[in-house]
Amino acid sequence: MEQTKSFVITISRQLGCGGAYIGQQLAKNLNIFFADREIISKAAKELSTLEENLESREEKKLSFWQSFSKTPYQAQGVYMAPVSPILEFTDNELFSVESDIIKRIASEGSAIIIGRCGFDVLRKHPNHVSIFMYADKEFRNDRIQMLYKVFNDGAEKMIEKSDKDRAAYCKTFTGKEWADARNYDISINISKLGIEKTIEYILNYLKLTPAVDIK
């Protein structure tokens, strides 16, 4: 497909919906940049830390005690475990750095950006399409079991934790409800369409919206 102006697509997604895969396939069809690992890589350099230290912090908040352990003092009688490299920066610092990277990527050309509250970070971008992807629990369970080789209630626990983490992260940094359809241009139930049909649906939508000019 050919594009006549730069645009950016942000994808917010529930775990197990295939959001990253769908984003990759859209980027291939549209011949535009796909930003996911790139954001981690750039943020790690700016924070002078290892990429693996960021991976476990993606779209999550530190617990109270993890955040507390980062303070420069120790309360009397309170045991403080040694601070590990993963706590060298706060949630606010990480969010600020990743938001700046997202804005830079969007200013450099057309791109698809996964997660990290991109829908809100780029809310003022003139050619921005925000998408939220969700699915039925059964669909998500099946996909997670296949991808991560977890069984019994393992997939369900992953889903519950991920949903809770992403909702809290979004609320903290945007003041908005992560799963509220009003935050997005379109919300899609992947379990109704399936992954391949979802890709087709989004490509057709992009041809109709004024935010994107593609042929």
Domain ranges within the chain, ordered by starting residue = 8-58+92-208
> pLDDT exceeding 90 applies to what percent of the chain?
74
> What's the pLDDT score for residue 164?
95
> What's the pLDDT score for residue 85?
44
Mean pLDDT of the residues in the chain: 88
> What's the pLDDT score for residue 36?
94
- pLDDT over 50 (residue 79): no
The per-residue pLDDT for range 6-59, each reduced to its tens digit, is 999 999 999 999 999 999 999 999 999 999 999 999 999 999 998 988 888 888
- pLDDT over 60 (residue 65): no
**Residue 152 region by backbone torsions, left for phi larger than 0, else alpha for psi between -120 and 50, else beta:** left
Answer with the residue of higher pLDDT: 79 or 15.
15
* Count of residues in the chain: 215
8-58+92-208: in CATH 1.20.210.10: no
Lowest mean pLDDT among 3-7, 37-41, 109-113: 3-7
Lowest mean pLDDT among 24-33, 72-81, 91-100, 116-125: 72-81
Provide the whole-model pTM.
0.86
- pLDDT over 50 (residue 90): yes
> What's the pLDDT score for residue 128?
97
- pLDDT over 80 (residue 67): no
> What's the pLDDT score for residue 2?
60
